[in-house]
Structure 1
Amino acid sequence: MLKILKNIRGGVIFEYVAITVIIGSIYLTVFIGMKETVHNMFLAKQTYDERVANDKYCEYTNNYFDDSTKTEIQYKWDGDYNTSGNPSCKQK
């Protein structure tokens, strides 16, 4: 391929430009791919933190001990929010 590039008008300069463009495109592809990966990792962590925090909210605001059945009634976040903006909870 380099011999073909040398035969094109401009010779060595064109070859260096072509190699620079190829290396640059590979670099940009890797850089953009890594940026997406890091961004997705951040979103996954943020979603996990949100789920844990909302599960704790439901646990602390709704769990109670039922004396008649001698069991603890537990609540968990259902993945949505109510009209007041608080996490919506459902019984486990």
Structure 2
Amino acid sequence: MRYLLNVTEKYRVDTEEEAQALINEAKTASVYELTKYSSTAKENKRTEETWYIVSLTKTFQTEKEPTSIIEPTYTKKEWEFDY
């Protein structure tokens, strides 16, 4: 049997406000415990574009006493550009 204990997800968002909103949303989730998070500002010096990387570590259960089988599901959505 295999048990998913935790995952670390990284997101790119455009603003510091979006980064904080993402962290706050993760803090209130009932499916997991948010055990670690960070937000880091990044900048492309050539274009002066700024964005934020948000890292969230979500813990589902302890390794000593796992109680559930967790199966993550990922969905990829293509970005549509308006030209």
State TM-score, norm by structure 1: 0.23
Q: Which has the higher strand share?
A: 2
Radius of gyration: which is bigger?
Answer: 1
Larger helix fraction of residues: 1
Q: Normalised by the size of structure 2, how large is the TM-score?
A: 0.25
